[in-house]
Chain A
Amino acid sequence: MIPHAPILAIVLPLFAAFLMPVVGILARRRGIKRAREWFAIAAVLVELVIVASMIPALREGQIIPGQFPVYELGGWSPPWGINLAIDGLNLFAAVIVAGISALVVIYSFVCMERDHGLDQYYTLLFLILAGMMGVALTGDIFNLYVFFEIMCISSYALVAFRRKWQSIEASIKYLIVSSLGTSVILLGIALLYGMVGSLNIAHLAQKLPLEPTSAIIVPLALFVTGFGIKIAMVPLHMWQPDAYQAAPSAVAALFSGATATIGIYAMVRVVYTLFGAFAIGIMLAVLGLVTMVLGALMALAQRDLKRLLAYSCISQIGYVLLGLGLGTSLGIQGGLFHLFNNAIYKTMLFMIAGAIIYRVGTSNMDRLGGLWKNMPVTAMLFGVGALAISGVPPFNGFASKWTIYVAGIEAGQPVFTIIALITSALTLAYFLKAFNSIFLGQRPKHLSDIKETPLPMLFPIMLLAVLCIVFGVLPQLGIDIVRPAQEAVMNSGGYISAVLGGA
Chain B
Amino acid sequence: MDFNYIIAMLLVALGLYCLLLKRNLIKIIIGLAVLTDGIHLFLISLGYRSGGIAAIVSGEMFSDLPGFAARAVDPIPQALVLTSIVINICIVAFALSLAIYSYRHYGTLDPSKLRRLKE
Whether A and B touch directly in their complex, counting CB atoms under 8 A apart, is answered as yes
Closest to B77 in A: A193
Q: Does any Cβ of B come within 8 Å of A481's Cβ?
A: no
Docked-complex contact A246 and B39, CB < 8 angstroms: no
Instruction: Give CA–CA (A242, B115) in the complex, Å.
Output: 10
Q: Which of B56-64, B65-73, B96-104 contacts A (4 or more CB under 8 A)?
A: B96-104
Minimal beta-carbon separation of A140 from chain B (angstroms): 11
Whether the Cβ atoms of A153 and B90 lie closer than 8 Å is yes
Residues on A with beta carbons closer than 8 Å to the beta carbon of B90: 153
Judge whether A53 is part of the interface by a CB distance below 8 angstroms.
Answer: no
B32 touches A183 (CB 8 A): yes
Q: Is there contact, CB below 8 Å, between B32 and A169? A: no
A176→B28 contact, CB < 8 A? yes
A249 to chain B, nearest CB (A): 16
Question: Does B13 touch A at the CB level, under 8 Å?
Answer: no
* A246/B95 in contact, CB under 8 A: no
Cβ–Cβ contact B117 & A199, under 8 A: no
- Is the beta-carbon distance between B42 and A245 smaller than 8 angstroms? no
Asked if A172 meets B98 with Cβ closer than 8 Å, knowing A180-B35, A190-B39, the reply is yes
A-B interface contact total, Cβ < 8 Å: 90
The B contact surface, by secondary structure, is helix
B contacts with A, residue count (CB < 8 A): 33
**Could you tell me if B101 and A160 are in contact, using CB atoms closer than 8 angstroms?**
yes
CB distance from A218 to the nearest CB of B (A): 12
Do the beta carbons of A179 and B46 come within 8 Å of each other? no
Given the known inter-chain contacts A169-B117, A172-B99, A180-B19, please indicate yes or no for A156 contacting B94, CB distance below 8 A: yes
A245 to B118, CA, bound (A): 11
Measured CB to CB, the closest approach of chain A to B114, in angstroms, equals 5
Within A191-209, which residues are at the interface with B (CB < 8 Å)? 193-194, 199
In the bound complex, CA of A246 to CA of B105 (Å): 15
The 8 Å CB contact of A153, one of B42, B80, B94, B102, is: B94
Extra contacts, 6 of them, besides A170-B117, A173-B114, A246-B117 (Cβ < 8 A), are A142-B83, A165-B116, A169-B117, A183-B35, A186-B36, A186-B84
